[in-house]
Structures are given as structure tokens and as C-alpha cells.
Structure 1
Amino acid sequence: MTLAYIPSPSTGVVHLGPIPLRGYAFCIILGVFVAVWLGNKRWIARGGKPGTVADIAVWAVPFGLVGGRLYHVVTDYQLYFGEGRNWVDAFKIWEGGLGIWGAIALGAVGAWIGCRRRGIPLPAWADALAPGIALAQAIGRWGNWFNQELYGRATDVPWALKITDGPNRVAGTYHPTFLYESLWCVGVALLVIWADRRFKLGHGRAFALYVAAYCAGRGWIEYMRVDEAHHVLGLRLNVWTAIVVFVLAVTYFILSARLRPGRETVVEPDRDPRPTEPADGTKAGAKAGAKAEPETEAGAKAAPQPAQDKLKKS
């Protein structure tokens, strides 16, 4: 008998009149705001301009949402295209289902577009945003709590998560893997902030550290989950993804440290294509012309008189 447990919400939706407020969507939105807020502070501390992180996030966030949903639908296609399933449900993002791997991959494409438009190096921007992304994931995982999804094996530990009967789930108490991952992501954010201050990480290494640390935790947490998933050689697909991405992140970290040690000195060059004008509004060209005119007159006065004029006077 379980004496203590974490209760699940009776519903994941709160209605304000005709407007539904979904817990999953609220957690995602709150996570984005926290990531942009912290990323902006870190970007300014590195010499960047206020608002740049938000400007680039306008590109990165939509791309990330699309990428996260695509990864989830492709890797769990049986949930939407299997027998008795409705493919329209693939578009119902508010019901849960965002793959972090796809979100980061396609979100990086959007960030690259935004950085390119501003003349900013993508690795520097990613370094500034890395701990904020980890915190956004920590907050976003609570959306799974609202939807009663992505829990682990049955258990009777005091912090077990109580799940009620519903579609594709059986009532009972289970490991709260959403909570494990949320706490792990908070730890990852603190690790990146500490390491960045201690070792002055640059050229994408803070972001690589975040990716590697997250994958290390995601591997064992994913192994505990009991929701339906594809398996390869006895391991869940996401476990293999975490292993591969971990190796790639560590490899990048090591090679980057050897090839480009230190940190960027300039992260956002001050480029203003507009011509500078005097405070009185006079154009520079006009003012220069005005100066040239008196010089011409003075030159004319100083010029020697022709010989004919001298004869007339004599």
C-alpha cells in the first residue's frame, strides 16, 4: 500500500469562459519566456545588445516546435496512422508530444537564419541560450504531469506518481519520470552556468556541454519509461538517440577546445549602414560643398590681375 504519492491533476484544461487554458501549452510558453529572459541577460553580459536573443528566438521557436512535433510523429507514427487512429490527431500539439531532439535540430536551423540576418555567430548565441533551454525543458516537463503521460515503471516509493484510468493508461502509482527529468534539467542549467563562469567557454562549447549533460540524464530516465516506443537491439529508440548525440556533443567540445580555444571577444559587431549626419540635420555632402565655395572665392581674390588691366591703369 502506498502511503504517500504525487497526485495527478483531474484535468489538464482550465476554461476561462469559452477560452481553454491547457496546462501543457502553458508550461511550454512559460519555458520559452524563461529561456529568452536568461539568454538575454547572458548575451548582454557577453557584450551583445538587448533584445537580440528575442529577435532570433522569433525564428528559432517556431522552427523548434515544428521540429519537435515532426520527430514525435515520425518516431511514434503508429499513434496517428495505425489501425483505428485518426491522422488529424498528429496536428493536436496541445495534447502532448514534442521530441526534444527534433526541436533542437530544427530550432537550430531557425536560429541560424536569425543569426545570419543579424551578422551574429550562431555558436556564441547558442552558448548564451544553453542554460535557458535546459530550464525551459525543466518547466516544459510539467506539461506531461498535466496530461498524465511519460511516467515510469510501477512503484510504491513515497514520491510515486498516481495515475488515473484513461486512454492508453492504467490506474496505479508509477515513477514520476517527468519529475526526474525536470530536476535533471535544472542541474544541467546550473552546471553550464558554473562551467561557463569558471572556464570561459566559447565557440559553442557551453551549448555542447548542455547537450552532453542532458543526454547523460535522458538515457537512464528514458530507460525507466513504460510508454509505447520503438526498440532497437533491446533499447528504446530515444536511448540510442541520446547515446549518439552525447558522443557527437563530447567530440565537438574536445575538437572546438583544441581548434578554437578561449571565448569570442566580439559577439555582436556594431554595424550601422545608415550614414551619420550632423546634429543640425545638414547633410555631410552639402556642408562640405559649402566649405569649398569660400575657398574658391578667396583663391579668385588672391589671383594676379591680367597684364591688360595693368596697362589700362598705367
Structure 2
Amino acid sequence: MNAVHQLLPLLGGGLLPTEIPSPSQSVWYLGPFPLRAYALAIMAGIVAALWLTRRRWAERGGDPDTVLEIAFWAVPFGIVGGRIYHVVSSPAAYFGPDGDPMKAFAIWEGGLGIWGAIALGGVGAWIGARRQGVRFAVFADAVAPGLLVAQAIGRLGNWFNQELFGGPTDLPWGLRIDPAGPSFPDGYPPETLFHPTFLYEMLWNLAAAALIIWLDRRYRMGHGRVFWLYVLTYTVGRLWIEMLRIDPAEQVLGLRLNVWTSIVVGLGALVAFVLVGRRHPGRETTPQLRAPADQEADVPDPH
């Protein structure tokens, strides 16, 4: 431990930066139209997830265009679900003494809860999969690594907004937050640096995505096991990262709500991964259950 403390000043002296600066601007204007970094990060994450999912869906024998048809339902459902979870889990800013209920609709200002996004986005994906006549479990397996990539890119929006950072740190990669800005927490000196939890989650998600892709190709998992592995790896990372954060959040039995959610959802994912693996150790032979709904309407009745 003493060796680590002796090494840190050397790292800060030249090999590594002594801090991570926060962007001074998160909104740009194209004439009267605002371009917000948070929205751009979310959009870039969606595009990356679609690109990766199309490739994985084709590897499983599906039509890549089917992914776009399903995303038409999944993406808006996911955005709405993510916002609902965020508002419910952090209600003070909207319904507290100084809150503004109308800001609950201001998604562009930041605030999407991944748990709500996955839950309601899954409902949208199920609807889209039903309409396209594909196996929902196969699609869930195909999209899983893309979700991690999308979440990683989306965390850049938190960096631009200077939000959702961790507690104070003296590590060389401490995050600088504008002390005159609205996000700087009370009770800390202006020169305080904070844990860049956005960066921790970015790196964790990208590493988890790479691991899942490798494991899927190595063991040819199917029947939803890749998706449950995604949930498990994400919740493990979110658990320790969430415990570093100091932004206001609902507390349950002394812990942040998202910590409990990570524990419960992660354990559920582990159980599902094991049980599905015992029942279905291989991968599906086809992603299709039937023809898409719009094609079924064109098939003549043989009677």
C-alpha cells in the first residue's frame, strides 16, 4: 500500500494527467436550435448499438433490416421507461420543496434510468419481435452487447453535464467539477476532485461487451443466456460504481435504491443464466418463428 502512495505522485508528475477536466460547454446552437451533448451521446449510443446488433443478428441467420423494425418499437419505449425510472428514483428535483414537476419531461437536461429503459424497452422489443415473427430470446441475445456499448457512449453525456460523479479523490484521474456550477456539491473546497464514475462505467461496459461477445462465440450460447449474462455483468459493475456516487438519490435501509436494484436484478440474472443453460445448453437453429405480420397479410388463403 505504501508503494502505491509513493507511485501516485510519479504518475501525476508526467506519466498520467493530474486531473480530468470537465467540458466547459454542453449545449451548442445551430441557429435557434440547441444541440445538447447529452442527447447527442444518447443518439450516438443508439446508432452504435444498432450497428453491432445488425451484425450479430446476421450471424444468427436473421435479416439485418429486422433489427431496425424492432428498434422502431424498442427505442421510444426505452427512453420513456428510462425517464420514468429516473424521476421515481430521484423525485426531489421534480416533486420536492424546490422541485419543478414540469422538468420531469425535460429529458434533454439529463436523467435516464437504465433499469426503466431496459424494462420498458424490452416491452417495445417484444412487440417488435412479435410483429416480425422472430424469437424474442434470440433478439435479446443479439442486442445484449450493443446495449453495453450504447450505455458506455451515453455516459459521455453525464461528463458534459458535470453530473453523477463520485466522492472526492486524490487519484491522478480525479474529475474537475466547476465550483461555480449547479452540480458542485455543498461542503467541499473548490479545488476538490471527484471520482469520474462516468469513466469507470464506460470502461466497465466496453470491457463487459467485449467479454460477452467472446464468450458467445466460444460457447455459442442462446435462448436468452447472452442477455442474462449482460444483465449480470452490468449489475456487478453498477453495484460498486453506484456506491461511489454522491448525487442525491432515494435511500432504502441505508443504501441507494440503485444499489439494491443492482443486487436483486443481478442475483435474478445469475439464477436465470444457470437455469436456462441447464434446459437449453445450445443455440437456436433459426431466429424466425414465422413470417413477419406484413408478409402474412400478402400470403393467399389456400382454401
Distance 2:128 2:277 in 1: 26
- The reply to whether residue 169 of structure 1 matches residue 222 of structure 2 is no
Is the Cα contact below 8 Å between 1:66 and 1:103 reproduced in 2?
yes
Distance 1:31 1:168 in 2: 24
Partner of 2:163: 149
TM norm structure 2: 0.88
Candidates 43, 50, 65, aligned match of 2:79: 65
Greater C-alpha Rg: 1
Give the CA deviation at 1:173: 1.1
Amino acid at match of 2:126: W
Partner of 1:33: 47
Give the CA deviation at 1:156: 2.0
Partner of 1:97: 111
TM norm structure 1: 0.85
CA offsets 1:145-188 (integer angstroms, 9 cap, x no match): 01000001111211111000222424431010000001000011
- The reply to whether residue 115 of structure 1 matches residue 129 of structure 2 is yes
Distance 1:71 1:21 in 2: 25
Is the Cα contact below 8 Å between 1:47 and 1:267 reproduced in 2?
yes
- The reply to whether residue 15 of structure 1 matches residue 26 of structure 2 is no
Is the Cα contact below 8 Å between 1:49 and 1:268 reproduced in 2?
no
CA offsets 1:38-94 (integer angstroms, 9 cap, x no match): 000000111001211111011000000000000010111111011122111111111
Partner of 1:207: 227
CA offsets 1:2-58 (integer angstroms, 9 cap, x no match): 872111111210112212110000000000000011000000111001211111011
Identity rate, percent: 56
Amino acid at match of 1:198: R
Runs of 4+ in 1 over 2 A off after TM superposition: 268-276
Partner of 1:233: 253
Distance 2:119 2:236 in 1: 18
Residues 1-314 of structure 1 correspond to what in structure 2 (within 5 A)? 4-164=18-178, 165-170=180-185, 171=190, 172-269=192-289, 271=291, 272-273=295-296, 274=298
Give the aligned CA root-mean-square deviation in angstroms. 1.7
Distance 2:32 2:21 in 1: 27
Unaligned runs of 5+ residues in structure 1 are: 277-283, 285-314
CA offsets 1:118-137 (integer angstroms, 9 cap, x no match): 11111100100100100000
Is the Cα contact below 8 Å between 2:162 and 2:183 reproduced in 1?
no
Residues 235 and 48 of structure 1: is their aligned pair in 2 closer, same or farther, counting only changes over 3 Å? same
Distance 1:243 1:275 in 2: 48
